[in-house]
Amino acid sequence: MSFTPGPAPPELGYNVICRDRKTDAHGGVLIAAKTTLGLSHLKSGKDTELISGSININQKKKAIITCLYRPPNRLDQQTANNAIQDITDLPKKHKSSIFILGGDFNLPDIDWKNYTIQGTQTSRDINNAFLEMAANLNIQQLVDKPTRGDNTLDVLFTSHPGQLNRCKTIPPLGNSDHDIVLLDFSHGLQKPKQQKRKIYLWKKANIAMINQHLKEKYNIFKNTDFEDVNSLWTNIKGLILDAINQHVPTRNTLTKHSHPWMNSELRRLSNKKQRAYTLAKSSGKTRDKKKYKFLKAQLQKEARQAHSNYMEDIVSNDLEKNPKRFWSYVKSRKQDASQIVTLKSKDGFLHSDTDTKASILNQQFQKEIQRSLEEDLWKSQFDQFCTSI
């Protein structure tokens, strides 16, 4: 059992890591990546055909890529447990990295769309072990088509399904009897910048002035002849919004991403710490450095306490009545982008620009409305027919 890190022939521009069989020309696993990605070897399976490496996504982010081959004739539970243990150790050691796992698992009994077991070719314990592994690691299986005959033997898991562009099978190479799994993955997604929003401060609203404003405009509205319902609604809406904008104070939300447990005291302390850091860096004085370190420790302590109090609050008994705070916390902890993924148009091409995706969704929405209207019309005609009998 060995692995061979290092570059492929220079003209190819790839780094390769692999785990070969010592006494058999068949089997083995290999990962190849362009030299610009900085592929480095992380782990090789001792009793399993597994290899794992790390590539650089950007200056801060890495992706852990793991390849596993589970021979169909290795039916003992211990081999499966060893493979699962080797896989499970990787995300634990690299918690902030994107995790991608792929290979020929030879598990034809598993229906990966529903995560259920449908056959008896492999022992139920082995199938259950890999299903539990996917659930425990919170990784999603992406291949939804057969890769050999009618069976999905080659699978791909990821910890960041929101960055998936497409996953499909293509014809095999050479004399292989397995289709190739092609995965397009967006590695550069960032959390979208939070846009400013106007918030009306209704607790400070001048209700008396709003009523007076609407009374003054009522006679003009009453004596106006409108062409249709749309113009009538537009006029009413304009009057109400004009009254609100004049007599209800507003403020804008922050554009900088903020954790949901951050409050005004923590923000003031954070700004104070930042000013102390700037002063310490420019002056170089020991006194200024000590002040900065003191404020930094104080901010960390109070932020941890605020986070703890927030967590106790959102998991309290009123979670079902007010779930907004809980889901705000979940959103703040996500590592991938909260945006619409790449969409496929009628011509079969993938589109990532905002305008085209909006157009695709609009077309789909119009289809759904048309289908709903047709169903309602059919039901109405059927009810009339039944009534007339």
Instruction: Read off the pLDDT band of 271 (50, 70, 90).
Output: very high
**pLDDT for residue 295:** 94
Could you report the per-residue pLDDT of 182-239, keeping only the tens digit for each?
888 776 555 556 677 888 999 999 999 999 988 888 888 888 888 888 888 888 888 8
Instruction: Read off the pLDDT band of 249 (50, 70, 90).
Output: very high
Instruction: Read off the pLDDT band of 21 (50, 70, 90).
Output: confident
- What average pLDDT does this structure show over 362-381? 80
Instruction: Considering only residues 343 and 50, tell me which one the structure prediction assigns the higher pLDDT.
Output: 50
Instruction: Considering only residues 249 and 325, tell me which one the structure prediction assigns the higher pLDDT.
Output: 249
DSSP for 357-377, please give it.
Answer: HHHHHHHHHHHHHHHHHHHHH
Burial bucket for residue 82 (CB in 10 Å: 0-12, 13-18, 19+): middle
Q: Do 194 and 253 meet the contact criterion of CB atoms below 8 Å apart?
A: yes
Residues 261, 125: Cα–Cα separation, whole Å: 43
Q: Do 257 and 194 meet the contact criterion of CB atoms below 8 Å apart?
A: yes
Angstrom distances, CA of residue 13 to CA of 39, 147, 251: 12, 29, 54
Structural tokens at position 249: 């104070």
Could you report the per-residue pLDDT of 122-135, keeping only the tens digit for each?
899 999 999 999 98
The three-class DSSP label of residue 266 is: helix
**pLDDT for residue 3:** 42
Could you report the per-residue pLDDT of 165-174, keeping only the tens digit for each?
778 888 888 8
- The separation between the first and the last C-alpha atoms of the chain, rounded to the nearest angstrom, is 79
- The answer on pLDDT for 84 being more than 80 is yes
Instruction: Read off the pLDDT band of 4 (50, 70, 90).
Output: very low
Average pLDDT, the chain: 83
Phi, psi of 17 (to 5 degrees): -125, 140
